[in-house]
Amino acid sequence: MADGRVDVRVTPRNHGPNAVQDATVRLRWSVPLADRQRLPDGCARSEVRAVICRTGALPADGLGEEIRLAVRLRGAPPAEVMLEFDTVWGGGAVDRNSANDRQRVLVLDTGDSYVF
């Protein structure tokens, strides 16, 4: 994050045991997003603080295509925000371990890259 702009890259993973035709992930920030956003194909604004994105097909025990987006936060740039990722729809697949469907990341306004 730098000056209220957050660049995000997410690589969805399917732990199996079966392939998933398509899924949807939500990215929710602890602060509101600016009203106007330029989102990539497959992503849409779902609420004041959140965006949802399609993952596309996910092979069993494999990685999906990387999702890249950049958002602007509303108002004065904060020093830090919390970003939560979660699965909202799994294409009807049975998930034996829903504990790995969520991730929380503290994002600092340093301009540095972080990998989780």
CATH number at residue 40: 2.60.40.1510
Q: Using the predicted structure, report yes or no on whether residue 92 has a pLDDT greater than 70.
A: no
User: 48 in a domain, yes or no?
Assistant: yes
Is there a contact between 71 and 6 (Cβ–Cβ < 8 Å)? yes
The larger pLDDT score, comparing residue 114 to residue 102, is at 102
Q: pLDDT digits over 2-37, tens only?
A: 999 999 999 998 887 888 999 999 999 999 999 999
Q: Binning pLDDT at 50, 70 and 90, where does residue 87 land? A: confident
Q: pLDDT digits over 30-63, tens only?
A: 999 999 999 999 999 999 999 999 999 999 889 9
What predicted TM-score, i.e. pTM, was given to this entire model?
0.89
Number of domains in the chain: 1
- Residue 56's domain spans which residues? 5-108
Beta bridge partners of 81: 107
DSSP 8-state symbol, 3: T
Is there a contact between 114 and 90 (Cβ–Cβ < 8 Å)? no
